[in-house]
Chains A and B, each alone.
Chain A
């Protein structure tokens, strides 16, 4: 094709696109990236259940796995097909050049997440979100006048919106996985305290070998004068799998946690969408849980950690941003994935954590993993950078420090470490590794191929 022909075609394509665009879109500056998903004109918008909403927390949403790919015109279920409700603090807000109101939400611990209210004129008329977006925009305009600069609010809000993973590009307040409420459908300032409870599950996805066990923590919190026990149940389990809650319900007044233990038994390999349901005080709330059952590799059912070699990516572990990766600069012990803590050469802390229940029917429990340490430190006497291996209870209280390694323990290749955890049989524990690095000279702590073998 000649260049002149190509130029004419390109010009015609753009002219056609411009002529078909609604006039209101031409008059406004509207977004581009994932705009159909952000405003509800995407191919999967029909999968969004607008008739119900699910309470959640910023912490839980920030812990969702980062998608390996983010589709331009489709949704990632259930995160982007669910209407979420957050009770949070609106920290600050700004009018973006794409006409969105950019809201930075925070929880009591300072964890932040972005919510965005698009300009209704930038939303296609066929969007099922349009009414909600218009409602939220009006609610916001009634209280604030956003400008091109951030303004501080620091006000409690109850905010309702659809989940959406944005691309990470340095946005203010962005969650480490890019999850946002986008669009916002409703916002209530200084919400009156309602009598209710909320329910969340962490992690929200579990990978468990066939014939093995995995666990997640179900947490409930209450508001207002709610005072009731909350009964827990789970649905969607595949045939051959079973689940138990410990305890089976949250005692009145309804705030607490329970460990959901899932035994995959003889269930077929695959990915299943489970629903955890809490019922109490005349209220019912649900939270999604994705269960992936791996085929084989369960070591005869004696290995109980999920995703022990990180080959499923950043799932089943709670890890600092970027720690679980496939970088070839620090090769894995086996496979492609491993956890690489520290290595920045500046003051830095990275950690990984997995919670697991060791059933009382077992008699021994042994933790093993492979560790590689390299460092730019030259000292032979001082521990500047450290990796600590701990067992904690489900509340995060340290039960025992199993070992501490440092720049002095640097090695070529990997060395296997072994610890007896039989003392924790019958308990739900957290395997917790934390690496701390001082202000100079990097030390990398690279771990891989964990196993918690029980008999």
Chain B
């Protein structure tokens, strides 16, 4: 069997370029993931692992290779609205706007992601709302706190459906940190995963952006990366 790897840039994928699906490979050593990742996109998370961010500053284009890591082949997108300010009446409309945009993206993303065996994503019927208060320390929520909240919400609910990707939308005014990185200077979104008793929770975190088009773009890009690189080891 010819198993020559298909080379493509991550940027090409995210803009809908057409490439063939590469064959599955044995997992590479963890060091290879870091050393060969596009510069500035793979960072330390809160417990010393790696997570992938959408940098706030434009990152110079750098070639990345798909090494056949797992993908979420039949994604169901579950929106999670996190933060007290989602209670405000004026922000309710924003929830509807981002959900509508995500629903539209499900079809168009299928064209660019289908070479990797990813079907159009579907939006779960009802969003989850965690409005129980903002983080305990200031106006920024850490990735660990998000993991704790997701684990609390989902960990005891029986086995998770493998294809579900959780997109956590932070309320207006609520910042986010991932290890030493912070949303106000480093990233517009990121994705990570956490193992709960119910299974692996794949999630993207998208802080609020008053510019709807930028907000939608950050959510779309992070969601796509979550789908094609859920464990952070498929591209480097």
Contact = CB atoms under 8 A, between A and B. Distances in A.
A107 to B, nearest CB: 17
Contacts of A32: 47, 144, 147-148, 151, 194, 196
Nearest to B143: A97
A114 B233 CA distance: 20
Interface of B: 1-5, 23-30, 33-34, 42, 45-50, 68, 125-132, 136, 142-145, 147-149, 151-153, 177, 179-180, 193-197, 231-233
B147 A321 contact: no
For chain B, what secondary structure do more than half of its interface residues adopt (helix, strand, loop), or is it mixed?
A: loop
Contacts of A322: 25-28
A102 B48 contact: yes
B206 to A, nearest CB: 19
Interface residues of A, number: 54
A169 B232 contact: yes
A340 B128 CA distance: 43
Contacts of B26: 321-323, 325, 327, 340, 343
Given A17-B152, A442-B5, 13 more contacts: A7-B129, A7-B131, A14-B130, A14-B132, A72-B195, A97-B180, A167-B195, A171-B50, A322-B25, A329-B23, A329-B68, A340-B26, A441-B4
A184 B27 CA distance: 29
Contacts of A73: 197
Contacts of B5: 344-345, 442
A34 B4 CA distance: 38
A227 interface: no
A183 B130 CA distance: 32
A345 B4 contact: yes
Given A26-B136, A98-B47, A345-B5, A170 B153 contact: no
A442 B131 contact: no
A376 B148 contact: no
Interface in A312-348: 321-323, 325, 327-330, 340, 343-345
Contacts of B132: 11, 14-15, 18
Contact of A14 (B125, B144, B149): B149
Residue among B130, B132, B136 with the highest chain A CB neighbour number at 10 A: B132
Contact of B25 (A6, A94, A100, A343): A343
A33 interface: yes
Interface string A9-31: 01101110110000000110111
B3 A444 contact: yes
A311 interface: no
Contacts of B148: 32
A168 interface: yes
Nearest to B46: A97
B196 A442 contact: no
A176 B28 CA distance: 10
A13 B27 CA distance: 38
B76 to A, nearest CB: 16
Nearest to B42: A170
Given A32-B151, A94-B48, A170-B33, A329 B144 contact: no
A100 B48 contact: yes
Contact of A344 (B25, B129, B152): B25
Most buried by A among B46, B68, B131: B46
B202 to A, nearest CB: 12
B19 to A, nearest CB: 16
A31 B147 CA distance: 9
Nearest to B233: A170
Contacts of B130: 10-11, 14
A10 B25 contact: no
Contact of A176 (B4, B23, B29, B142): B29
Nearest to B1: A374
B172 to A, nearest CB: 19
A174 B30 contact: yes
B142 A29 contact: yes
Contact of A171 (B2, B49, B194): B49
B79 to A, nearest CB: 12
Contacts of A330: 1, 3
Q: Which of A33, A100, A169, A323 has the most CB of B within 10 A?
A: A169
A31 B232 CA distance: 19
A118 to B, nearest CB: 11
A438 interface: no
A369 B24 CA distance: 24
Nearest to A97: B46
A312 B195 CA distance: 25
A70 interface: yes
Interface string A428-455: 0000000000000110100000000000
Contacts of A170: 30, 33-34, 42, 49-50, 232-233
A44 interface: no
Contact of A169 (B24, B50, B125): B50
Nearest to B29: A321
